[in-house]
Chain A
Amino acid sequence: MTAEQEIDFSKTYDAVIVGSGAAGGMAAHVLTSHGMKVLLLEAGKKLNIEQELRSMEWPYDNANRGSLPPDSHSLNFNEYTIRRPPYGPGFEKAKNLYSYIGDSDYTKNIVVKERENPYTGTNYAWVRARCLGGKTNIWGRLALRLSDYDFKAKDRDGYGENWPISYSDIQPYYDKVDLYLGITGVKENLDYLPDSIFQRPTKLNCAEVTLKQGVQKMGRTLTQYRAGVTSDGLKHNKYRSRCYGRGACERKGGCDIHAAFDSPTGLIYPAMDTGNLTLRPNSTVREVTVDPATGKASGVRFTDSQTMKDYHVKARVVILAASTLESARLMLLSKSRQYPNGIGNSSGHVGHNFCEHVMGPGVAGLAKDRVGKPSTLDDGRPGGFYLTRFRNLKEKHPKFIRGYGFEGGSGSTMFPRSAQAPGFGAAFKDEVRKKQGAFIGMGGFGEVLSRYENYVDLDPVVKDKWGVPALRFHYKFSDNEHKMCEDMKETAKEMFEEAGFEIVHVSDRILTEGWSIHELGTVRMGDDPKKSVLNQFEQSHDVKNLFVVDGSAFVNASCQNPTWTIMSLCWRSCDYLADEMKKGNL
């Protein structure tokens, strides 16, 4: 990889990008390939990724068997339920406090320390990764497209707003992302879940095939996990290997050979090789600055995360890609005479229309015909299966609008589910062994409606370690989500019964808001500047040289996992941006 360059503070960069995750990485890739001189700022460290991602480490070779050291603590469901943020008070004994994802040695250095990064308001499991690549280092890899069932959802059920784009607008960019980053899957020809340009698919194992056949009888579709993983390799990327079906891919923690997409190897290192990218980690951006004469963004002010020194860097275009909530926070922080409510916020919608996916309901079953079978190599696969949406497609559900899908899997895993068997002794040990590959489970991901009343703003008192005002949450699931979750639980159970599994556990517990780590929609796009913040190219209605290219631009959450759509939209917007710059419009 090309060596990092120092920032030249005398220079005006063509663009400064805030955040290096899926969106920031993609913006860096697209803009540098257009020949623009780009500065990429990341608040966190540049991790030594080769040491950090250890997908093939054996638990017994790890000091804590892969777990978090016992002097540290990660928040759990009960704590998120009982306590309200900020998370820190009450956990003084724990040396380090992490979000629920930081519960292993493979994730603790990637997620933030909660005490340094407080937030307030309603209960929310906010998972943040401040490091080069952000959450893409450890993402779940499920890479799905949205369709006009999502982009034009209002036309179908009258709720919310349509997106300012159609599937046909974004489809060429989904294709570009597929080809540039690699994705595995099987074509299903579903109009509500369009196919990607897939590389060689992973395969289902036996219990998964049984479930597929079962749900087929009910007119539903189970398909191989559509993973943002290259199974055939990528000739144009020397940093990533193809997937060899090895490793403990079930455990949280990234892919050491980068077969699974992550922003550093997939996007940022190649962008640095163009010679057009300057990368600066440890740069906590606190404000988008404004040229008082023109009202345009002039650059960003940031604090060195370690030395605490303040800097200002100039750029022709400012691109926010700091994540749905951090980008909204930055806009609200950027108050000036021209923009007293925060930059780009004349609509008052910044921070609002906050949405995501609701999780919790699901089912676990035992495939009795798999009991006692020799163990198989299942968890080197990037994923098991995806059971696609079936609600509110043709027929209207009487109790709720929109839909949900299920992620699931079966087979042998490093620490098998069968080890949760009750009892002890010889019979227990025998049971764990015999049932180790026989369990199958799945959990739902449902659309949380985008509602103006669900929002974040700045806390008037609490600040983070860098003195930046914390976000305050005003966010709750609504009746639609609760009714959807009821249905999720029922349909999960009925499908497992149809497949002939012995039902082991049915979960009707709704996980804490935020659990899906799919927060979306705080800076939404739209054609009407009174009801939206960005236009269809993720460009601020108010400030022409300000773009917000992460999940915050989403108009609704759909029920599909957002990463592939974030990157496809970002690519489209950055193509437009480069074109506008050439035309002198920015």
Chain B
Amino acid sequence: MPSEKPTGNSTEDAVRNAPENPLSGVDLRQDRRQWLKTSATMIGASLLPATAIAGETAPQAEAKPAAAAASEGKSAARFFTPAQHALVEELTETIIPEDSHSGGAKAAKVADTIDQYLRETYDESDKAVWREGLRLIDLMSQHYNGKTFVNASPEERVAMLTVLSENSQLTELTEVKFFNSLKELTVGCYYTSKIGIHDDLQYKGNRVIQEYVGCDDQDAAKA
């Protein structure tokens, strides 16, 4: 996606982002055994069917949403099912929420841009990580919050994603790999959107000026 890639998450900063997180410091490796064990019986699993993980193209991702899209009068097949799309909207909004300053990822339609990226990417392993990651997110949410991610409160969502953010170095775990990709794509899509560039960052470039103001004045540098 966008050429700038976010690098490294530090535990310290993640904690600072969610100072009162009730899930801070949980053992992700330990806990995931439980929620993976229950995955066969959970509602979450039926809501988001477990699709192919390693490299297999999931027919549902092509067929089902195509029908859904057709009913809405839209063109190309979507990568996400409507349920997945709703989940991705909430995930991205948790990464970059609306605040008093500007709209968040939902307003910037980040989920749609991610959908397009995944639909067009040649890398089947990226696609598989996303399909499986979305399934695991709901299993995790059931485990920690007793409900799906979409039904969880904003605080519960933050608490759960913090578990993944704090463990971002455990990239052998699919849910962590998914979270890292979710963050990278959300950030990339948001800060290249109209809302991100103009409303949030108030970017001043891309306009003709007569003279660049700069800061050659030595006093101004200290001011």
Contacts and interface: CB of A to CB of B under 8 A. Distances in A.
Interface of A: 56, 58-60, 64-67, 69-73, 93-95, 103-104, 202-206, 208-210, 213, 244-248, 251, 374-381, 412-417, 419-430, 432-433, 436
Interface stretch (B58-66, B135-143, B181-189): B181-189
B209 to A, nearest CB: 5
Nearest to A210: B221
Contact of A424 (B118, B183, B201): B183
Contact of B200 (A213, A376, A429): A429
A contact face: mostly helix, strand, loop, or mixed: loop
A209 to B, nearest CB: 4
Contact of B193 (A60, A103, A379): A60
B192 A66 contact: yes
Contacts of B122: 70-73, 93-95
A414 B197 contact: yes
B206 A65 contact: no
A384 to B, nearest CB: 11
B120 A377 contact: no
B192 A433 contact: no
Interface string B155-189: 00010010001000000000000000001000111
Contact of A67 (B2, B10, B161): B2
Contacts of A248: 205-206
B106 to A, nearest CB: 13
Interface of B: 1-10, 13-14, 16-18, 94-97, 99, 101, 104, 113, 117-118, 120-124, 158, 161, 165, 183, 187-189, 191-194, 197, 200-216, 218, 220-221
12 contacts: A65-B1, A65-B188, A66-B192, A71-B122, A210-B221, A416-B201, A421-B6, A422-B14, A424-B94, A426-B17, A427-B17, A433-B201
A374 B7 CA distance: 25
Contacts of B10: 422
Contacts of B96: 424-425, 428-429
B95 to A, nearest CB: 4
A376 B212 CA distance: 10
B204 A377 contact: yes
B209 A377 contact: yes
A150 B171 CA distance: 48
B2 A415 contact: yes
Contact of A205 (B7, B183, B202, B214): B214
Contacts of B118: 70
A377 B201 CA distance: 12
Q: Which among B124, B197, B203, B208 has the highest number of chain A CB atoms within 10 Å?
A: B203
The 6 closest A-B pairs by CB, nearest first: A203-B214, A70-B121, A59-B192, A206-B215, A422-B9, A423-B17
Contacts of B123: 70, 93
B contact face: mostly helix, strand, loop, or mixed: loop
Q: Which among A65, A413, A427, A429 has the highest number of chain B CB atoms within 10 Å?
A: A429
Nearest to A202: B212
A429 B192 contact: no
A429 B104 CA distance: 9
B165 A423 contact: yes
A60 B194 contact: yes
B191 A246 contact: no
Contacts of B197: 58-60, 414
Contacts of B208: 244-246
B3 A67 contact: yes
A104 B3 contact: yes
A377 B205 contact: yes
B12 to A, nearest CB: 8
Q: Which among A377, A413, A427 has the highest number of chain B CB atoms within 10 Å?
A: A377
Contact of B209 (A71, A244, A374): A244
Contacts of A433: 101, 200-201
Given A94-B122, A379-B205, A422-B8, A245 B212 contact: yes
A176 to B, nearest CB: 28
Contact of B3 (A103, A416, A420): A103
A367 to B, nearest CB: 10
A246 B206 contact: yes
A419 B6 contact: yes
A415 B120 CA distance: 23
Nearest to B123: A93
A246 B97 contact: no
Contacts of A416: 191, 201
B206 A423 contact: no
A208 B218 CA distance: 11
Contact of A65 (B104, B120, B189): B189
Contact of B216 (A93, A209, A414): A209
A374 B202 contact: yes
Nearest to B207: A246
Nearest to B158: A425
A525 to B, nearest CB: 38
Given A421-B13, A423-B9, A429-B200, 11 more contacts: A58-B194, A59-B192, A209-B220, A246-B206, A246-B209, A415-B192, A420-B4, A420-B6, A422-B9, A424-B14, A430-B99
Contacts of B187: 419
